Amino acid sequence: MKFALVEGGRKEATPASRGECPGCGASVIAKCGTKKLWHWAHSSVRNCDRWWEPETAWHRGWKNEFPAPWQEVRCIAPDGELHIADVKTEAGFVLEFQHSNISPIERASRESYYGSMVWLVDGGRLKNDLPKFQTTVQAAPVIDAAPLRLLMHDRANPLVERWAGSRRPVFVDFGESQPELPFIADEQVLWRLQYLEKTNNVVATPVSRSSFIGYFRNGGRLRGYRLPQLRARPTMRSGRRGFENYMQRKEARRRRF
């Protein structure tokens, strides 16, 4: 973890320092080597949060996009179950940064534990995920051109399939590499996946990375992209109206997403 309690304040690890875990109060020691990010680790082997995953540079980079008091926030359920959210915004929204694989059961339990949350997934973990996602993007029917929203099947490619059944929005971060979309300039993009309950449909929306951060930091708008006129619009006339009505009802029920 990035922060521990040292003399009552939240401090980052420095060589040979000691502190207390903000989660359980156990003693933690600073790990300040050359291979891994400087971090704190419990002196005893076990971590108090069983959902904890080893922190990568990708995790740390994302945490650092948000104010320090929002990072690694201790959350306790009414039954006493304790977890540390990667980021919890002032408005109470939890952002979970997920690098390693997670089982559908564990995913569902985190979604119900945190309630208002989104997933941010490291799309660079497996090298085949991006090219396969790219193939799906190229073939996907267009639901809306502005902002662009594509329709995918929840088993269209391994990454989308792995998150199938998620009840919260999933944002995929492919980092510097991106599915090729000529109309998206060099800006970094996240792919928002919304799995529609009781269907195999997924709505995939590219949004700008900086607008994602702005959305959670200061209530800005998520910014999508406009499909240029030069790309012929695939026909979705049949069933389109019904699908859009479905989406509208769906979105009306979700307060913020």
Contact footprint for Zn ion (CB under 5 A): 21, 23-24, 26, 48
| Pairing verdict, β 94-98 and 82-88 | antiparallel
Q: Which is nearer to Zn ion, 17 or 210 (CB)?
A: 17
Tokens representing residue 219 in the block:
């209530």
160 alpha-carbon distance from chain centroid = 13
Q: Measure the CA–CA gap between 152 and 194, rounded to whole angstroms.
A: 10
Q: Which residue has tokens 């900086």?
A: 210
115 alpha-carbon distance from chain centroid = 14
Q: State the nearest-atom distance from the C-beta of 3 to Zn ion, in Å.
A: 12
Q: Which is nearer to Zn ion, 21 or 207 (CB)?
A: 21
Q: Which is nearer to Zn ion, 26 or 126 (CB)?
A: 26
Q: Are 204 and 195 in contact (CB under 8 A)?
A: no
The amino acid at 88: K
Q: Which is nearer to Zn ion, 27 or 138 (CB)?
A: 27
Q: Are 201 and 153 in contact (CB under 8 A)?
A: yes
Q: State the nearest-atom distance from the C-beta of 49 to Zn ion, in Å.
A: 7
Q: State the nearest-atom distance from the C-beta of 23 to Zn ion, in Å.
A: 4
Q: State the nearest-atom distance from the C-beta of 12 to Zn ion, in Å.
A: 16
